[in-house]
Structure formats: C-alpha cells, structure tokens
Amino acid sequence: MTIRHHATDETLLRYAAGQLPAGPARVLAVHLATCPCCRSRLAAFEAVGGALLEAMPPAPMAPDAFAAALRAIDLEDRAPDALAGPVHAEATMTARKPATLPGGIPLPAPLQDCEIGPWRWIGLGVRASTVRLPEDPQARLTLLRVGPGRKLPEHGHVGTEFTQVISGSFSDGFGRYGPGDLSEMDQDIEHQPIVDPQGECICLAALEGSMRLNGFFGRLVQPFVRL
C-alpha cells in the first residue's frame, strides 16, 4: 500500500493533545493504523508534549485526590464481577468477533468496538452506514460506499471534512486518493469526488460541522445525509 495523502501537522498535534472530536479522531486512528509515516510524526509530537509537561511547575493536588483515584480503580476492578455469567461472556464474544465490509474487506481495527449500522441509500450508486462510537454515540461518523464511476454531489463544508479511503479510489480537483490515503478539506474548499471506474470505493468520513451540498440534487438529498 502506497500512501500519498497524510494528516496535517495541525491535526496530529490536536490528536496528540486530545483536542480532536471523537468522529475525526476515529478517522485519524484508522489512518494511523496503516501509515507508519504519520505514526512516527505523532510520536514526535507526543514526545514534545511530554517534555513540555515535565518542564511545567508542579500543581498542588487536592487533599483527597489519591483516595479518589484508588476508589475509581477499585470500581473498575469490580465491574467485570458484576457482569459475570454466561450472558456477559456471550456478549463479549459477539462484540469481539471480527466484522467485514462488503466484498469481504476487513473492518479496520480502530472500528472493531463500534456499532456499524445498516447500509442506506442516499443517492444513485451511493450508500451510507452510520458508525456509532461507544465513547460518543452522537458523533458524526459515516462509512460511505460509492459505485464505480459515480460522482458525489459537489459540496463544501462547515468545518473540516476528514475522509479515509479503506478500499477503491476517488479523485477530485485536489488529487487522487487510494487505500490508506487521508483527505482533509476545510471550510474554504468545495469539491466533487469522483470514484475511479475500476471498482467501488469505501471510505470513512467525519466532519467538524456539517456538509453543504450544492445543486438541485444536493439540496434534494441534504436532509438524508448525516454528514
């Protein structure tokens, strides 16, 4: 896999600082799982952040901080016992069972703990599946399946759009994106992704904000698009 489009420094810094919203953070996690270049850059940013923390003067802790931490650890240790039994064991096995995407494509590891919704029609040759995150069920995260040669409506964004290609490929006015590539489009950009004719394209997408669809068809399907 040759990855040509990577995360920006700003995005990696926000991820390292825990400041990226849940949806975009999962898209980036999927990218990092296949991109050693971005993992290396992220490690460098995290090292710088750790050095800055060490250089900061220590802050006083609340008198009961240590006791509160011990109580929290004790509750976590006891949680599995409260849920023990055949029903819990079966649920755990089901949750850990690897899932696949259409065409037998493995679901990326960073999505294994997510609830993947049914595929729904949102346009000619275009289907979407809502991805529900355990840490933030309201996060806007979507899997997209777009047929070969199909065009998505021309659109802009309110906020930044993060799109990770899982399989297939698409092009727009800013380049061609294949498996492993990450596209970041900010609110100043309008584009129209077109899937390559060789086959279907499956992507994971999230927005900081919302999508602004252009044209008659775009306005027609806007109410049905979760992005």
Residue pair 179/4 in contact by the 8 Å Cβ criterion: no
CATH class of 1-59+113-227: mainly beta
State percent of the chain over pLDDT 70.
Answer: 68
pLDDT at 152: 82
Nearest to 191 by CA among 173, 203, 178, 216: 173
Q: What is the pLDDT of residues 119-140, one digit of tens each?
A: 999 888 999 999 999 999 999 8
| pLDDT for res 92 | 40
Q: Give kind and range of the element (H or E) at residue 34.
A: helix 22-34
pLDDT at 136: 95
pLDDT digits (tens, 9 = 90+) for 156-209: 767 789 999 999 999 998 899 999 999 998 877 787 899 999 999 999 999 886
User: Does the pLDDT of residue 112 top 60, yes or no?
Assistant: yes
**CB neighbour list of residue 15: distance below 8 Å, 6 or more residues apart:** 7, 25, 28, 42
The answer to whether the beta carbons of residues 27 and 165 sit under 8 Å apart is no
Mean of the per-residue pLDDT values of the chain: 79
Q: List the chain domain ranges.
A: 1-59+113-227, 65-96
**Sign of the torsion angle spanned by Cα atoms 139, 216, 199, 162:** negative
Q: Give the start-end residues of each E strand in 63-151.
A: 100-101, 105-106, 115-116, 120-123, 126-132, 141-146
133 CB contacts (<8 Å, ≥6 apart)? 22, 23, 26, 114, 139, 141
Residue 225 DSSP class: -
Q: What are the tokens at 84?
A: 């023990």
- The structure tokens listed for 16 are 């390292």
Contact 164, 27 (CB under 8 A): yes
CA distance 49 to 165: 29
